[in-house]
A = this chain, B = another copy of it.
Amino acid sequence: MIVVLRENAPKENIDNLTSWLNDQGIKVHISEGHYQTVLGLIGNTTGIDEQFLQSLDIVSSVKRIGEPFKNANRKFHPDNSIIDINGVKIGGGNFQIIAGPCSIESPEQITEIASAISKSGAGILRGGAFKPRTSPYAFQGLRADGIELLEYARKITGLPIITEIMDASHLPLFENVDIIQVGARNMQNFELLKELGKTKKPILLKRGLANTIQEFLMSAEYIMAGGNEDIILCERGIRTFETATRNTLDLSAIPVIKELSHLPVVVDPSHACGISRYVKTLSLAAVAAGADGLMIEVHNNPSKALCDGAQSLTPEQFEDLCIAVNKIREAL
């Protein structure tokens, strides 16, 4: 870490800062220039708060050299991580499509969708049991009952299942779930991340709406620091000024993350754009950008045409997407 001091910083304050850093086990290399003094911090700086240093009166700016994450860092783990979910693998060349409905509604709904997506090539079944909703008056999901239906669909189809957790106290309900999902709004729910670090289950961690890639990796680090190294990262769009799509899908995040970390990265184009007619195109782009997998909303609503065209694809549209994705993967 490099700390650039402000001009005319009083010697006494510099000494105070230096001795405080020494107390944290950090060696300080002072280099005095004509106008400014620069401190080089040597040692384990992962526990040093950049923003704290930045906020000191005598400090002009702080530059971290090297990343503040260790377990998630490719430097210390050059090979791609492969997450193995009972034989279904993601990462290191293994590509998976996770698909299923936004909300679990009934045994018929979830099993029909599960069968359909399995036939088209999806490897993992998703379905929302606990639903994070902006409004307290909106449907909050079937909760425990939803997880049971998901388990039932797994029994029928053999697909491993993934569903979202919203609070650490619900963990016992997730005992038979194969992958636990952390939603964008909980990416920095640090108490939840710590609890998930104590579990042995693969975690799919979604990027927060307004979180940088570094913060994203630090949240993965929270889980990994607890001992759970099976993390799948999920890019799902960030919040920008553009309103034509619900969020702005940041596909640059894939090569950036792959350079910094060994963890697999999947992309959720359904939530990123919020409009089903763009999902296939963005899926192909994600695959071309190097994604290790996709997360796609698929619904099945034969009695009503209502949902056609929502964020979710029909099983037919999903099959079409899978075929196109395979062609791109072969071309790569």
Contacts and interface: CB of A to CB of B under 8 A. Distances in A.
Copies in the complex: 4
Contacts of A308: 13, 56-57
A60 B55 contact: no
Contacts of A132: 188, 190
A259 B7 CA distance: 14
Nearest to A60: B65
Interface of A: 2, 4, 7, 12-13, 16-17, 20, 29, 31, 33-36, 38, 40, 42, 46-47, 49, 51-52, 54-58, 60-61, 63, 65-66, 68, 75, 132-139, 166-170, 185-186, 188-194, 208-210, 212-215, 218, 221-222, 225-226, 238-246, 248-256, 259, 272-278, 281-282, 284-290, 304-311, 324, 327-328, 330-332
A259 B276 CA distance: 13
Contacts of A288: 281, 284-285, 287-289, 328
12 contacts: A2-B4, A16-B306, A33-B40, A35-B65, A36-B65, A51-B246, A57-B309, A61-B65, A166-B189, A238-B240, A252-B282, A255-B282
Given A20-B304, A38-B40, A63-B61, A252 B252 contact: no
